[in-house]
Structure 1
Amino acid sequence: MRVGAHVSISKSPRPNDDEKPPYGDLRNAVHRQVTFGGNCGQIFTHSPQVWQDPDIDADEAEKFRTATADQLDGPWVIHSSYLVNLCTPKDGLRQKSLDSMQKEVDAASQLGIEYVNVHLGAHTGAGVEGGLDNAVSVLDDLSIPDEVTVLLESDAGSGTKLGGDFEHLAYVLRESEQDLDVCVDTAHAFAAGYDLSSADAVDDAVAEFDDVVGLEHLACIHLNDSKHACGTNKDEHAHIGEGHIGVEGMRRIVSHPDLVDVPLVLETPTEDGRGFAWNIERVRELAAEAAEV
């Protein structure tokens, strides 16, 4: 089972670090992942709240690749900056988004990371089809290394944000000249109206995804429970099995025969004395419970 968390690359301790990170480089991400009990995971290459370039030298990249190969099963995913908006009709923001994404896919190649994950963004008045066409245009202008795949992440669907409907993802996959895949965030999909709170509901949602997008394009799952009800478009993550998706839904997601080989990356909160280690162990417990039935 490939399950892990979105971990920090920081050289300094964070509140959920079990101990002071031992390295002065990106290997701290590997160390944190192992400490939490994960064997795959996700990182930001820089603060996601600002326009900033990844700052990775060749020696640091080699150490990260070696540590990953020695200690993890993989894959890693790079999550793009929150400022990236592929759907924007604004030329300046489009160019910044394109430049940022190009640097992320280049960093992924340098680090031996297979995936770069990105939200489609908001059309901000361009309309759904106009926004999706804008996203296709940006993606097609990228020079993506052969060993890297860009993943389109499902969205909670608030305001003019696109990606909450599986058809939005399918449209971009069809229209783009790039070989793209998808990352479904369970909390986002639930907030967007795809019920995942029971075994039957999960089966229905998986079947709908397969019909609209195709399971062959599902490369990663952001496994998060939701603090809000289905269809509310509110994106706030909860501990595994303790939100509105709940134990039954989460148990079916981690044991569904069409999903068991898909890497699971957690973006669950650190609160109530519990963090990534607790949630990763909970995922494994739910998978074991399902196997016993």
Structure 2
Amino acid sequence: MRVGAHESIAGGVANAVDRQLEDGGNCGQIFTHSPQVWQNPNIDGDDAAAFRDQTAENDVGPWVIHSSYLVNLCTPKDDLREKSIDSMQREVEAAALLDIPYVNVHLGAHTGAGEKQGLDNAVSALDELDVPDGVTVLVESDAGSGTKMGGEFEHLGYVLEESEQDLEICLDTAHAFAAGYDLSTAAGVDETIEELDAAVGLERLACVHLNDSKHECGTNKDEHAHVGEGLIGEAGMRAFVNHAAIDGVPLVLETPNEDGKGFAWNIQRVRELREE
């Protein structure tokens, strides 16, 4: 099983590998810079080489780059659209430099343009990217609040079908739960995965953000909880990580660091649930 966490690159991107190993993970995710500002990745050649070498030597992977939170592919605003495309282009280039196969992105919000126009905006923005060989853009499921897109699996399916890019998806369990897909029971997990298969195709599921939720199903509230200790709960998380459709899909944790529990605790909990 591939399970790991979103690790900091403070002090150099190669440090993320060390942090992953300390937490007991064998795959993971990073930001290439602060996700709260417009900033270009600043990774020098030596640091990139160290990251690639340490990843290979310790059999850690796959890694995912998570794009900036400011990126909005659905936006009708020309200036934000251009900034978003430029930011994504730099992320896919950073992924190629680091031998990271995936760059993960949220679709963003249509901010009044309407769902269809928002999705079409996202498709055309993604189609402007020059994605290097060996890198795939992942569109992430969303909690679906306000005018944000990606809360419905059909949104993801539409973008994948319409785009000229060879896209895949990242399913966030807390987001899906917040968007109304009940993952708290084995039956609910089965139904959710069937809906995902119908809307997108399970062969396009490349990564899972494995997070529990602090809020009820369908509330559109995105706040992550420790694995098995939120409202998805232990039964739902156990059913999900043991589902045949998830076998072989890397699980990346974005769980909180609170109550004396961090990534190491959550990674171990996933392993225990998988073994039960």
| Class of the TM-score when normalised by the shorter of the 2 chains | over 0.9
Structure-2 residue corresponding to 1:3: 3
Structure-2 residue corresponding to 1:22: none
Amino acid at match of 1:85: N
3-state secondary structure, aligned to 1:122: coil
**Is residue 107 of structure 2 the alignment partner of residue 93 of structure 1?**
no
Could you list the runs of 4 or more consecutive aligned residues of structure 1 that deviate by over 2 angstroms after TM superposition? none
1:37 to 24, 32, 46: 24
1:161 to 139, 148, 160: 148
| Alignment TM-score, normalising by the size of structure 2 | 0.99
Structure-1 residue corresponding to 2:271: 284
Amino acid at match of 1:90: K
What's the offset of the Cα at 1:212?
1.0
Amino acid at match of 1:5: A
Spell out the pairing of 1:125-164 with structure 2 (5 A cutoff): 125-164=112-151
Q: Aligned partners of 2:221 and 2:89: how far apart in 1?
A: 30
**Is residue 244 of structure 2 the alignment partner of residue 257 of structure 1?**
yes
Structure-1 residue corresponding to 2:37: 50
Q: Aligned partners of 1:269 and 1:275: how far apart in 2?
A: 6
| Alignment TM-score, normalising by the size of structure 1 | 0.94
Q: Aligned partners of 2:240 and 2:192: how far apart in 1?
A: 10
2:111 to 111, 117, 124: 124
**Is residue 198 of structure 2 the alignment partner of residue 211 of structure 1?**
yes
Equivalent residues, number: 276
Q: Aligned partners of 2:140 and 2:188: how far apart in 1?
A: 21
What's the offset of the Cα at 1:260?
1.4
**Is residue 171 of structure 2 the alignment partner of residue 184 of structure 1?**
yes
Q: Aligned partners of 1:212 and 1:134: how far apart in 2?
A: 20
Q: Aligned partners of 2:55 and 2:90: how far apart in 1?
A: 21
Percent identical across equivalent pairs?
Answer: 72
Is the Cα–Cα contact under 8 Å of residues 17 and 60 in structure 2 kept in the other structure? no
Q: Aligned partners of 2:195 and 2:143: how far apart in 1?
A: 17
What's the offset of the Cα at 1:59?
1.4
Q: Aligned partners of 1:69 and 1:45: how far apart in 2?
A: 19
Amino acid at match of 2:259: D
Is the Cα–Cα contact under 8 Å of residues 145 and 220 in structure 2 kept in the other structure? yes
Spell out the pairing of 1:16-31 with structure 2 (5 A cutoff): 25-31=12-18
What's the offset of the Cα at 1:146?
1.3
Q: Aligned partners of 2:84 and 2:21: how far apart in 1?
A: 32
Q: Deviations over 1:113-132 (max 9, x none)?
A: 00000000000011000000
Structure 1 residue ranges without an equivalent (≥5): 12-24
Q: Aligned partners of 1:156 and 1:211: how far apart in 2?
A: 19
Amino acid at match of 2:108: G
Q: CA RMSD in A?
A: 0.5
3-state secondary structure, aligned to 2:70: coil
What's the offset of the Cα at 1:103?
0.1
Q: Deviations over 1:158-177 (max 9, x none)?
A: 00000000000000001000
Structure 2 residue ranges without an equivalent (≥5): none
Q: Aligned partners of 1:37 and 1:253: how far apart in 2?
A: 21
